[in-house]
Amino acid sequence: MNRYKQRMILAPAAAALAVLTVACGDGKADSGAVTVQQPVTGVDWRVDSLTVGGTTLQAPASARLRIDADGKAAGNLGCNQFSARATVHGDRITFGDLRTTRMACAPDRMDFERALARALTTGTLLAETHHAKLTLTDGDGDRIHLSSNAPG
């Protein structure tokens, strides 16, 4: 067989193998299925709840978070809008000082907002994604539970 025919046969086979390697190579086994880690940046995350000291607080519907690849973070703490710098290194995220608007809301929303702001800025957070869910955990074990609008 000449070299041209060999290349014509081997090229599609190599391409198919490359696709399978990318699709399966970095995923984690989950009940026999392969899942791919969802990125944290570039996603509009809805804050679902916050667990602090073993107590879970449900988030107001307005609570949101987005971290862009350039390190800009912004969102809503439950009442007020915020922005900050965020450093993402693998599965570790650190937020800088939050800059917020200063609106007043109902006491329960303000309580949630203060707790969320404290959780975001206590130090480096461990980020874990699973399907369309994100959990940010601080060094004390407190957790911020988020979800994206992506199917999952």
Token digits for 34? 């392969």
pLDDT (tens digit, 9 = 90+) per residue, 102-141? 999 999 999 999 999 999 999 999 999 998 999 999 999 9
What pLDDT sits at residue 6?
Answer: 46
Domain of 12, in residue numbers: 3-35
Statement to judge: residues 106 and 31 lie in one domain: no
Counting as low any pLDDT under 70, the low residues of the chain are 1-38, 150-152
Burial of 52 (0-12, 13-18, 19+ CB in 10 A): middle
The total number of structural domains that make up the chain? 2
What pLDDT sits at residue 150?
Answer: 53
Residue with tokens 């987005």: 66
pTM score, whole prediction: 0.73
Residue 40 belongs to some domain of the structure: no
